[in-house]
Amino acid sequence: MAVTPDRFPDPLNKQVVAGRYRIMEKLGEGGMGTVYLAEHVLIRKKVALKVLNPDLARRLELIARFLQEAKAAATIGHENIVDITDFGETPSGSAYIAMEFLDGKDLAGHLIESGAMPFERALPIAIQICRALEAAHEKGIIHRDLKPENIFLITRGGRPDFVKVLDFGIAKVVVPDQDQKLTVDGTILGTPEYMSPEQARGEQVDHRIDVYALGCILYQMLTGKVPLRGENFMATLSAHMFTMPHPPSQRMPQANIPPALEAVVMKALAKDREERFTTMEEMAKALEACERAPTSVATAVMPEVPILLVDVARPVPTVAPTTARPAHGKKWLLVAALLLIVGGAVIVGWQRLTSNESVGTGEDSATPPVEKKAAVPRIIPAPAITIVRTPDMGRLEGKPVSMPKSQVVVAPPKREVQRSSLPKLPTPPPSEEETPRAAEYPPPEARPEPPKQKKGLLEGVLENPFERQKPPE
């Protein structure tokens, strides 16, 4: 529920702080403090006075962090970072910071009002953020809480969308002589929608967490939506650790985002910090290349060169030709080049063929021609056919026999064995018992003919399949 000034009047309203800043009105309120519009009583200059909340004024670590914000912003001294002019205490004992007054709106307000921005507008804003953070990193200061609420857009010198980076309250100072251990190891600080994977895991961080946060902001400017968001705080952190967002062109196809710019965004959002841009300067150069040629064919080379621009247009020669060349001149040149290549290949092949013939048959050849042996045909023996005899075939002796195919057995060819290699065995004399047995089996011509079968009613219907009609004489 919003607190109205009428029911709960602000105790600092119309008060003079530290004898020189008169409070005029409240501009906004955050988790750590309240921002007022104030005026210097002597020089009549308007300033923004950020006052620490009274409930937090007794916590020494928050006062130290408040003071660190003032020191960090004052140390950087860049045009795209808010200028800090003073630091002190209010009559109630709360710490305050005096900074330049900015007449404009933060980036979050612009995104809420208008949604996604055209990439022509988003590019200059992102480049200015890169330059501001590049100056901060050179001073050993990592922002750690970069988000649209901490990016202010103003108009300066007739130039719209002039960037001012705010709120270095949880900035990390890594300069040896200014390092202050204000954060316990493993503590998660920042806004989850813009938090890098290593920051979400509570690991040791470096300046590349700002690269990741800027990638999230640029993604939101191009699509109107943050790249990843879960149902709650922990789900959002888990998404940043394990889920890769969809490319901006898939989230906002109608925006016509150049492929080169999309490659810059996706490289800044890499899960592994080693795969992101090494410095803010490197990312700024990649964005500037997209700004110079947003519609040209561009490809991002991730490991080494951030953006490789390939310009299709070639410089036109300064010497004007005497006669205008036809439009199809290049086609004829291409056809002529192909004919030359094919002709050369034919000539080389013909020379190789003739040289091989001269070497094989010429009289002056150093080596005699090689006689080719005639190919010996390989004789494959035909398979033997064995006819299976049936009980009824005895009466068909001397007649042509026709057998169905099902009773023809194809036997493999017999292997010839040299008789000389086999040992000769002695032939035993016939026994007395075997001699009379031979007489019991007369030869076929001495056997009696089988009785003829009587013809019945089925005469002519059931024919012997093994008989054939004799051809007429």
- 388-420 pLDDT tens trace: 555 555 554 555 555 555 454 555 555 555 555
Name residues whose C-beta falls within 8 Å of residue 238's C-beta, 6 or more positions apart in sequence: 200, 230
The H-or-E segment that residue 48 falls in is strand 46-52
Cβ-count burial 141-166 (b if 16+ within 10 Å, e if not) = bbbbbbbbbbbbbeeeeeeebbbbbb
Query: Comparing 50-64, 178-192, 195-209, which segment has the lowest mean pLDDT?
Result: 178-192
Q: What is the pLDDT of residue 184?
A: 44
440-448 CB contacts, 8 Å cutoff, 24+ apart: 444/394, 444/397, 447/394
> What is the DSSP secondary structure assignment for residue 451, as one 8-state letter?
P
- 212-239 pLDDT tens trace: 999 999 999 999 999 999 999 999 999 9
Q: What is the pLDDT of residue 74?
A: 82
- 95-120 pLDDT tens trace: 888 999 999 999 999 999 999 999 99
List the one residue out of 392, 389, 397, 401 whose CA is nearest residue 445.
397
- 279-325 pLDDT tens trace: 999 999 999 999 886 454 344 434 343 443 334 344 434 434 444 44
Residue scoring higher pLDDT (357 or 446) = 446
The H-or-E segment that residue 4 falls in is none
Query: Above pLDDT 90, what percent of the chain?
Result: 38
Q: With contact defined as beta carbons under 8 Å apart, do 302 and 265 qualify?
A: no
Q: 88: pLDDT confidence band, cut at 50, 70 and 90?
A: confident
Q: Is 167 a catalytic residue?
A: no
List the one residue out of 95, 65, 97 whose CA is nearest residue 182.
65
What average pLDDT score do residues 253-263 get?
94
> What is the DSSP secondary structure assignment for residue 222, as one 8-state letter?
H
Q: Which domains does the chain have, with CATH numbers?
A: 16-100 (3.30.200.20), 105-310 (1.10.510.10)
- DSSP bridge pairs for 51: 34, 96
Catalytic residue (choose from 145, 177, 179, 311): 145
